[in-house]
Amino acid sequence: MIDIALLRAEPELVRENIRKKFQDGKVGLVDEAIALDDRRRALQTEGDTLRAARNALSKQIGVLMREKKTEEAEKVKAEVNADAARLAAIEAETAEVSNALKNVMMRIPNIISPDTPIGKDDSENVERQRFLEPRVPDFEIPYHVDILEKLSGIDLTSARKTSGQGFYYLTGDIARLHSAILAYARDFMIGKGFTYCIPPFMIRSDVVSGVMSFEEMDGMMYKIEGEDLYLIGTSEHSMIGRFMNTTLDESQLPLLLTSYSPCFRKEKGSHGLEERGIYRIHQFEKQEMIVICKPEESEAWYEKMWNYTVELFVSMCIPVRTLECCSGDLADLKYRSVDVEAWSPRQKKYFEVGSCSNLTDAQARRLGIHYKSATGNKFAHTLNNTVVAPPRMLIAFVENHLRADGSVNIPEVLRPYMGGQKEIVPKK
């Protein structure tokens, strides 16, 4: 949610920002917000005037009563009562207008970074940098599910019977590898100075509406029937929600947190669930990183955070590249975002394995996250980034470490988490 003061001062900047995101249908929200804000401020002025008058009249009643001027005092009392009725109506309308204004403001996108490329969708994202040389072996690489099945590591058939499409069982060494990657990512981030957390996996609706746009919520979140609870789509949701309506001390910033959680997503309106794959699924696990910092620090943390993900993948000998997300590919709360993509030797192209985002103060305004500074309370900046999400990581991992005989090499950094195991071999 942007600052209402910015919208008042530079409405055309806000309109142009909406156009840059190719959301022309939302341009009218600017005038709607201005009209509601004007009405709210007029009501507040009228209310303040009436309260001041009521206080003055109340004192006058006391004076008149002491002077035994009962008839005059009664007339003033009647005036006070009339003012009280009008004041009650003003307060009720103010609450209604304020709520309507908040709903409109929550639909206006955050101002995007000057460095964000302008484009309609992810096809217009811009490559920034590549890390490690992509490798295409001299033998055919099977589809990732075929690799995992030969390693006795996945069971999609049983998952379809128990849960439906978009679910899976991981077994044996592949299940252990999945856990090893998460444990390694956890320790990697702790080594970078982040505090490890395991958050609640369900959150209330006021947290959901604070951490994401209405469109994202509808397309992602699973609602718990009969309760004000949603399953989280990523641990960022409950991690940021932890600080809702909180005023932090400046000395506490930056807060560096890394969290593990399962993630649940409807994938409504997505590109579709693969028939056999685990690229786009309803349930997966992830290690996340979250930073809450002062505004002047957020861009530096943005660069550090995606670099941590790159470093993690490179340490496991997986080539990656980074893409700066264009304006049309940014969710409404994002100031800027960079995708990390891993190399697929089978497809001979890169695919997304994580995303790093700077949301400036957009989330903090929706959730009421402040910090105390020498010049008063200010809204903090929030950032989030995927450290690793093993289902997609597993695809990149097995493709990049597959040998001609069907075995999969385990990089040295992961061997301590695999009991010293150096490879995963097909079962006879």
Treating both helix axes as pointing N-terminal to C-terminal, what angle do 28-66 and 70-105 enclose, rounded to 10 degrees? 160
Q: What is the mean pLDDT of residues 396-410?
A: 97
Both 74 and 201 in one domain: the answer is no
103 within 8 A of 33, measured Cβ to Cβ:
no
196-226 pLDDT, tens digit each: 999 999 999 999 989 987 677 777 889 999 9
Both 171 and 211 in one domain: the answer is yes
Q: What is the pLDDT of residue 273?
A: 47
- The answer to whether residue 369 is domain-embedded is yes
The whole-model pTM stands at 0.89
Within a 10 A sphere around the Cβ of 292, how many other Cβ atoms?
Answer: 26
Q: What is the pLDDT of residue 215?
A: 72
Domain that holds residue 11: 4-105
- The answer to whether residue 111 is domain-embedded is no
For residue 47, give the CATH number of its domain: 1.10.287.40
Domain end residue (candidates: 71, 105, 139) = 105
88-138 pLDDT, tens digit each: 889 999 999 999 999 999 999 999 999 999 999 999 999 999 999 999 999
- The answer to whether residue 188 is domain-embedded is yes
The three-state secondary structure class of 120 is coil
For residue 142, give the CATH number of its domain: 3.30.930.10
Both 204 and 286 in one domain: the answer is yes
Both 132 and 101 in one domain: the answer is no
291-301 pLDDT, tens digit each: 999 999 999 99
What is the end-to-end Cα distance of the chain in Å, rounded? 57
Both 63 and 166 in one domain: the answer is no
132-169 pLDDT, tens digit each: 999 999 999 999 999 999 999 999 999 999 998 889 99
Mean model confidence pLDDT for the chain: 92
Q: 408-409 and 381-388 as β-strands: parallel, antiparallel, unpaired?
A: unpaired
Length reported for the chain: 428
- The answer to whether residue 195 is domain-embedded is yes
Both 203 and 175 in one domain: the answer is yes
Q: What is the mean pLDDT of residues 70-87?
A: 74
402 within 8 A of 147, measured Cβ to Cβ:
yes
Query: How many domains would you assign to the chain?
Result: 2
Both 174 and 281 in one domain: the answer is yes
Both 63 and 139 in one domain: the answer is no
Helix, strand, coil % (nearest 5) of the chain?
Answer: 50, 20, 30
